[in-house]
Amino acid sequence: MGTTAAADIATIARIDAVPSILQVICETTGLRFAAVARVTENAWTTCAVLDNIGLGLEVGDGLDVTTTLCQEIRTSHQTVIIDKVSEDEVYCNHPTPRLYRFESYIATPVFRADGSFFGTICALDPRPTRLRGTSIEAMMASFARLLSLQMENEERHQRTATALLEEREMADLRDQFIAVLGHDLRNPLFAINAGAELLQRRVADERSVGIVKHIQTSARRASQLIEDVLDFARGRLGAGIVVDLQPDADLTRSLEHVVSELQRIHPERVISMDVDDLQGVLCDKERIGQLLSNLVSNAIIHGAPDSDVRVSGRLSNQEFTLSVHNLGPAIAENVRAQLFKPFARPSVRSPRGGLGLGLYIAYQIALAHDGRLEVSSSDEHGTEFVFHLPVVTAV
């Protein structure tokens, strides 16, 4: 499929070497007009020009191709060189030199990378100049090959950039779809939860109670997955995770509630907690609780099953730090570099649920608070995630 004149002009304009090529041609030949022209069956179009004789052609200007010598070059694929038109056996009576009032002329064909004809590099002047028998023809041929390579590189770059832009737009559409889908799934899940709670009050036999509890557990799990997907979509779409910063009266109690809930879900594990009095820390306590929940859940999944998970919260030196520590094999350095990216899944022996978004969301929550989330890991000391938050206390 051929390109348009506008696209070819834009391609030539992006090639930094073109103005220098035209300058060198003029200085070397003594000709005062030089141009790169796109030549088709129907049109001659200026893509780049250096005009020191006031010919009046500018980039994008077109000529009737039948009035130019480039029409012949397009057919023959041969360079045309004229030292002095009035003494040239072939061109002394040709209408083109008379129309454009030049005596000396040189034009070399330029081909695309696929071998098709693009146009010419040409130069001319009303004054006669010796061109034949010099190195000028070889120089023009070299410039034509260079221009062909540069055009191919630039067009390849543009194709890559266009494909990347299209892929980004498609990714945005996918993220928007995920966000809408996640939002719309909330209503049926709410109905499932409400129905399960109603059934729980009405059934009495042990088997039915077990089924209802299973429905509630699955619904809660699905709700959490949806919330994770929505948080992921918010981050991907550029809005980031939204936080509602409030001078919380009792952040300590909020964190204790999170740990208590996780302990109830994982009674086989020991989760210890040592948290200072965190009165008045300016933060979004719900999001900080979500961050802690994700970190503790990660520690339970990936830590040594026979070791405690330790939660520590400290308020000192104008900084609030919240850390989660677990023992177990060290996280490899190449894995640590990917931990806070979406869908990152450290390899584990047994399959597990989830989307691999927990640490990504925790990291985004830290960023939303103008804080940071760091990780250290070794075989000797285990793995520790630490959230650092500069403290702005309530007045």
Q: Which three-class secondary structure state does DSSP give residue 116?
A: coil
Do 255 and 358 sit in the same domain of this protein? yes
Do 152 and 40 sit in the same domain of this protein? yes
In a domain, 262, yes or no: yes
In a domain, 281, yes or no: yes
Provide the pLDDT confidence category of residue 192 given band limits of 50, 70 and 90. confident
Do 255 and 222 sit in the same domain of this protein? no
Q: Tens of pLDDT along 363-384?
A: 989 998 999 999 999 998 999 9
Do 141 and 207 sit in the same domain of this protein? no
Provide the pLDDT confidence category of residue 349 given band limits of 50, 70 and 90. very low
Domain span including residue 319: 246-390
Do 143 and 165 sit in the same domain of this protein? no
How many domains, the chain? 3
Do 152 and 166 sit in the same domain of this protein? no
User: Which of 140, 159, 178 is the last residue in one of the domains?
Assistant: 159
Do 91 and 193 sit in the same domain of this protein? no
**Given a cut of 70, is residue 393 above it in pLDDT?**
no
User: Which of 183, 216, 236 is the last residue in one of the domains?
Assistant: 236
What does the pLDDT read at residue 239?
Answer: 59
Do 188 and 56 sit in the same domain of this protein? no
| 117 Cβ contact list (under 8 Å, min separation 6) | 39, 74, 77, 109, 110, 111
What does the pLDDT read at residue 186?
Answer: 66
What CATH code is carried by the domain that includes residue 203?
1.10.287.130
Report residue 128 as tokens.
């006669």
Do 370 and 356 sit in the same domain of this protein? yes
- The answer to whether residues 69 and 152 touch, using CB atoms and an 8 Å cutoff, is no
Distance CA 107, CA 139 (A): 12
What proportion of the chain, given as a percentage, has pLDDT over 90?
A: 51
In a domain, 186, yes or no: yes
Q: Which three-class secondary structure state does DSSP give residue 387?
A: strand
What does the pLDDT read at residue 277?
Answer: 85
Distance CA 374, CA 319 (A): 15
In a domain, 153, yes or no: yes
- The answer to whether residues 272 and 310 touch, using CB atoms and an 8 Å cutoff, is yes
What does the pLDDT read at residue 354?
Answer: 52
Do 67 and 202 sit in the same domain of this protein? no
Provide the pLDDT confidence category of residue 179 given band limits of 50, 70 and 90. low
- The answer to whether residues 50 and 33 touch, using CB atoms and an 8 Å cutoff, is yes
What does the pLDDT read at residue 1?
Answer: 46
CA atoms within 13 A on the CB side of 153: 10
Q: Tens of pLDDT along 317-335?
A: 789 999 999 999 999 888 8
| Average pLDDT in the chain | 86
Do 68 and 165 sit in the same domain of this protein? no
**Given a cut of 50, is residue 314 above it in pLDDT?**
yes
Do 266 and 138 sit in the same domain of this protein? no
Q: Tens of pLDDT along 25-55?
A: 999 999 999 999 999 998 999 999 999 999 9
Q: What is the radius of gyration, based on Cα positions, of the chain? A: 36
Q: Tens of pLDDT along 144-159?
A: 999 999 999 988 888 8
In a domain, 251, yes or no: yes
CA atoms within 13 A on the CB side of 298: 29
